[in-house]
Structure 1
């Protein structure tokens, strides 16, 4: 797992450690020291701790004018034991929402498992976005199935056209526009 890095080719466009509105503002990364781990497996030092022992994040891009954030995840999303959605909602999402972000692209290629609980934090997040949306991009199919088993798909758009293999070839604003168009198309049906 230590070889899985968060996507870094947009770092020259947005760096959460340099964004004074980011919860990671001022964080210094030591890329020579692997100290964070998930179940005893070290992860790349560029991943950020959100309060969960099993789920880490990297905010890849945020545009406060357009009101969107792109976030990549690694680990096991465990609401049953670690209440990961609470950590994500309280420690990350509420910060961005306070600054006008109401559209979230969650990249889940490196989510290895999902253990659900109740859906109250997802419902609260969904209500908070009002005219926005939450999109899960490239979550593995078995993880999507587990999310659906806990009715998370009522609050987060996932699957189908949101399996976007070539997202890394796009600029962040272009990626956002594509996801927004896909969400709007779903809403108009």
Structure 2
């Protein structure tokens, strides 16, 4: 896991540590010292700790004019034992909502497991953003992660599932990804079975 680095090709456009509106503003990173772990496995030092000891993230892009953020995740999302949704909501999302971010794109291909708990914080999050036409999308969730989320009825608050999986997002700019997902969430596009064909 220590070789999995957050996506870095948008760094010319956005760096959370240089964004005065980011909760990670001013954070410094080492390329050589590995201190954060998920269980017994060290992870790359570019990932950000936000309160959970099994789940880390990186804000890859935030656009305050359009009101969206793209966030990459790694680890085990564990609401059952560690209340990860509480840390996420209180230490990141509440902060971002205050700055005008109402639409969230989570890249979940490195979320290896999801253990459900109470849905209270997902419901609160949904309530906080719905009046601003906000939404939350989870892309590229693993099958068993998707099934656990669905079994816990998170589809009432989050957008995820087959139509949001197997998406080749890396070749595109954040604005392109946002525009396509916004159309999908709002029913203007049903799905993209071949990835991002409509962007080509």
- Fold conserved (TM > 0.5)? yes
Q: TM-score range by the shorter chain?
A: over 0.9
Separation (CA, whole Å) in 1 of partners of 2:12 and 2:88? 25
Structure 1 stretches (4+) deviating beyond 6 angstroms? none
Among 178, 181, 185, the alignment partner of 2:180 is: 178
**Alignment partner, residue 92 of structure 1:** 92
How high is the TM-score relative to the length of structure 1? 0.97
Q: CA deviation at 1:187?
A: 9.7
SS state of the match for residue 48, structure 1?
coil
**2:170 is paired with a residue of what secondary structure?**
helix
Give the match's secondary structure for 1:92. helix
Q: In the alignment, does 2:68 pair up with 1:61?
A: no
Match of 1:145 in 2: 147
* Structure 1 position 158 matched with structure 2 position 160: yes
Q: Which runs of 5+ in 1 are unaligned?
A: none
Runs of 5+ in structure 2 lacking a partner? 191-200
* Match in the other structure for 2:120: 120
TM-score (norm 2): 0.91
Aligned counterparts of 2:181 and 2:189: Cα–Cα separation in 1: 12
The 1-side partners of 2:18 and 2:61 are apart by 12
Paired with 2:182 and 2:27, the residues of 1 have a C-alpha distance of: 30
Q: In the alignment, is the contact (CA less than 8 A) between 2:34 and 2:42 conserved in 1?
A: yes
1:8-157 equivalences in 2 (<5 Å) = 8-130=8-130, 131-157=133-159
